[in-house]
């Protein structure tokens, strides 16, 4: 049904549901599931918090860029991207070489409700409030929107509804 050569990259702010939706989508379609943060943690044998603490953010961003290149070479995966992957233009152009980018769009309030108990995201540790999320999102919004081939609003929707929407978008890609 789907053309499995291309990758499907899910982008969006931390807590927008990329991992959950990618997992469901993979089960429905057989696309290989790649969760970028999890892959980086396994390969580095360290948590994202530890990588940020020991080596800093730009080292982490290098690991992301390297992983994007490897995913692009392979194809056929649904990729749950880290929320900051598209900050590097190089990554976006690599992703587009062999893939489509779907932006899961959520409001700062939706994000806050989902991430408020999380301690695994270094950028939010110590900044866990809706104002901070809104500020960071305002800076990133144009980047997410420019990178995206398609935007899917995920506010107040069931997972199944979002996955169905993405399935129908992917069919149109092929
Ligand atoms: C980040 C998002 C995180 C993780 C890291 C940085 C970001 O991934 O890659 O903490 O810059 O938005 P999730 O979006 O999966 O939480």
Rounded Cα–Cα distance for residues 170 and 51 (Å): 34
Q: What is the pLDDT of residues 112-137, one digit of tens each?
A: 999 999 999 999 999 999 999 999 99
Q: Which of 10, 46, 121, 128 to mutate to test the pocket of ligand 1 (most atoms within 8 A of CB)?
A: 121
- For residue 65, the model assigns a pLDDT of 98
16 CB near ligand 1 (under 6 Å): no
Rounded Cα–Cα distance for residues 39 and 54 (Å): 18
Q: Which of 23, 164, 16, 27 is nearest to 85 (CA)?
A: 16
- Decide if pLDDT at 151 tops 80: yes
Q: Which of these ranges, 35-39, 55-59, 168-172, has the smallest mean pLDDT? A: 168-172
Average pLDDT of the chain is 96
Q: What is the pLDDT of residues 55-104, one digit of tens each?
A: 999 999 999 999 999 999 999 999 999 999 999 999 999 999 999 999 99
- For residue 5, the model assigns a pLDDT of 83
Q: How many CA atoms lie within 13 A of 122 on its CB side?
A: 16
140 CB near ligand 1 (under 6 Å): no
- For residue 160, the model assigns a pLDDT of 94
The alpha carbon of 38 and the centre of ligand 1 are apart by a number of angstroms equal to 11
| Share of residues in the chain with pLDDT > 90 (%) | 95
- Decide if pLDDT at 2 tops 60: no
Rounded Cα–Cα distance for residues 108 and 89 (Å): 24
Around Cβ 115, how many Cβ atoms within 10 Å? 18
Structural element, H or E, at residue 100: strand 99-105
Residue pair 139/84 in contact by the 8 Å Cβ criterion: no
Q: Which of 11, 5, 35 is nearest to 166 (CA)?
A: 11
Rounded Cα–Cα distance for residues 56 and 44 (Å): 14
12 CB near ligand 1 (under 6 Å): no
| Cα 38-71-23 angle, rounded to 5 deg | 50
Q: Which of 2, 7, 25 is nearest to 164 (CA)?
A: 25
**First-last CA distance in the chain:** 9
- The answer, as to whether pTM is greater than 0.85, is yes
Which atom of ligand 1 has the smallest separation from the CA of 140?
12
Q: Residue 171 CA to chain centroid, in angstroms?
A: 20
């Amino acid at each position: 049904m789907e053309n499995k050569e291309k990758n499907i990259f899910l982008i969006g702010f931390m807590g927008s549901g990329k991992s959950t939706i990618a997992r469901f989508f993979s089960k429905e379609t057989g696309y290989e599931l790649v969760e970028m943060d999890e892959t980086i943690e396994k390969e580095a044998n360290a948590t994202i918090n530890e990588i940020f603490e020991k080596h800093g953010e730009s080292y982490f961003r290098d690991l992301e860029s390297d992983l994007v290149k490897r995913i692009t070479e392979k194809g056929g995966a649904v990729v749950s991207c880290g929320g900051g992957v598209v900050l590097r233009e190089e990554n976006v152009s690599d992703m587009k070489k062999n893939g489509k980018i779907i932006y899961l769009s959520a409001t700062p309030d939706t994000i806050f409700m989902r991430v408020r108990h999380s301690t695994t995201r270094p950028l939010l540790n110590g900044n866990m409030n809706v104002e901070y999320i809104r500020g960071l999102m305002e800076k990133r919004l144009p980047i997410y929107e420019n990178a995206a081939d398609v935007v899917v609003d995920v506010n107040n929707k069931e997972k199944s509804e979002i996955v169905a929407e993405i399935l129908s978008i992917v069919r149109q890609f092929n």
